[in-house]
Amino acid sequence: MATILSAHGYDPGPSQRPLLAGAISGVIATAPAVMILVSFGSLKTEAVILRLSAIGTLGLGCLVMTVAGAIYARLFGRAANSVHGGWLFGMVFGFALWATGAVLVLPLVGGGEAPGGEPALGVALSMLVWGFAIGALLPFVHRPLHQSIDKASRLSELGPAAATGNNRPIHSQRAKQSDD
């Protein structure tokens, strides 16, 4: 796999819009995670800890998961776009979010309170399901967001100008030639 990645690069190109794809996938992946939070009573517990309403907690959660989705897509790059392994990268990222969010940040923000019992289990499962969902969804959300080759080739960071290293606008290239 390392040879494939070195041939194609780790980072998605600027025409691929990985942050947008990650943000959209993150929001969509929130739906199954919320169902788990509700069924385990975790949403109510989080709302009490955060001193917000259930709707406020959902809104804040959707915003956080949108940003987390963009971070996921940027952090894992092309590996996140894998149809075969994206779900595993997503679950790893979901576990890391659970460890960071529910175990570290939530008690800091909530005055030392953290979910316990079934609500704690619900939070952990919801993050794993969110991770699985974002990993499975991202490749399919990402594909339609790519720019067409015609449009992308006109960008200075792509196409012929990028290949030759002349990323300056044409008028500055002509000015330089006239100075010589």
Pick from 8-12, 120-124, 132-136, 160-164: least confident: 8-12
In a domain? residue 8: no
| 166 φψ region: left (φ > 0), alpha (ψ -120 to 50), beta (else) | beta
Its domain, for residue 101, covers: 15-145
Tell me the pLDDT of the chain averaged across its residues. 80
Given a contact cutoff of 8 angstroms between Cβ atoms, the answer to whether 123 and 38 are in contact is: no
Q: Is residue 161 part of a domain?
A: no
* Percentage above 70 pLDDT, the chain: 72
Q: What is the pLDDT of residue 168?
A: 56
pLDDT exceeds 60 at position 167: no
Give a yes or no: residue 38 inside a domain. Answer: yes
Domain membership flag for residue 134 = yes
Q: Establish if 71 belongs to a structural domain.
A: yes
Do residues 89 and 73 touch, judged by C-beta distance below 8 A?
no
* Position 63 in a domain: yes
156 confidence band (pLDDT: 50, 70, 90): low
Q: 162 in a domain, yes or no?
A: no
pLDDT, tens digit (0-9, with 9 covering 90-100), for 64-115: 999 999 999 888 877 777 788 888 899 999 999 999 988 888 888 888 888 8
Alpha carbon 154 to its chain's center? 27
In a domain, 70, yes or no: yes
pLDDT, mean of residues 151-180: 54
Domain count, the chain: 1
**Helix, strand, coil % (nearest 5) of the chain?**
80, 0, 20
Whether the predicted model's global pTM rises above the 0.85 cut: no
Q: How far apart are CA 137 and CA 87, in angstroms?
A: 8
CA–CA separation, 117 vs 127, rounded Å?
A: 16
Q: What is the pLDDT of residues 36-46, one digit of tens each?
A: 999 999 999 99
Q: Find the mean pLDDT for residues 15-41.
A: 89
